[in-house]
Amino acid sequence: GGGIGPYLHAFRRRWPVVIFLGLLTASVCAVAAWFLVVPRYSATALIRVSAANQAVLFESSGDARNFEVYKSTQLEYLRSRFVLVSALRRPEVARLASIQDEPDPVQWVSDRLSVRYPGNAELMQVSFTGEKGDEAAALVNAIVDAYMEEVVDVEQNERRNRLGELDQLYVEKE
């Protein structure tokens, strides 16, 4: 006959051996997991990408399609090589051990960098995953700062210059 009865009877006779082998196997697996699993740390920053663009002279009709294109453009700017190179040139990032060990640090950062818009919002989420938490945070901060300097500040300066030109033309025509 079948059933679980014969197994219970065998366990009653050999329970010390079964428990010993179970504990031995569990401890070997725990030690292997302790040494083989590398902890991963993730640092995240949020950047607001406004849907309403400030007009210099005339109000423009902003539709959803234009905003989606704008968001995609900003995402690609942040992931671009010139922003990443600018971030890696910063002294606090250049002296990180992870950066110095890599033959191509820009590609290494690009592979571990995640940029997305969660929930189709005006927030761009920039995340970096690495083996050391302080290095991940330093890299995210440097990338966001480089993006703000290389892309956002340049766009704002262009708008200011255009507004200055329009003011000058207005004064001349007046």
* pLDDT for the residue numbered 11: 82
The confidence score (pLDDT) of residue 49 equals 84
**Global pTM value:** 0.69
Residues 156-169 have pLDDT tens digits of 888 888 889 889 88
pLDDT band of residue 57 (cuts 50, 70, 90) is low
pLDDT tens for 116-158 read 988 878 889 999 998 888 899 999 999 999 999 888 778 888 8
The alpha-helical segments, DSSP class H, found in the chain are 5-36, 64-79, 81-88, 91-94, 97-101, 105-112, 133-147, 153-173
The predicted structure's pLDDT at residue 101: 85
Tokens of 115: 């940029």
Q: Residue 47: which of 156, 163, 137, 145 has the closest Cα?
A: 145
For the stretch 65-124, pLDDT in tens is: 788 888 888 889 989 999 999 999 999 988 888 888 888 999 999 999 999 988 878 889
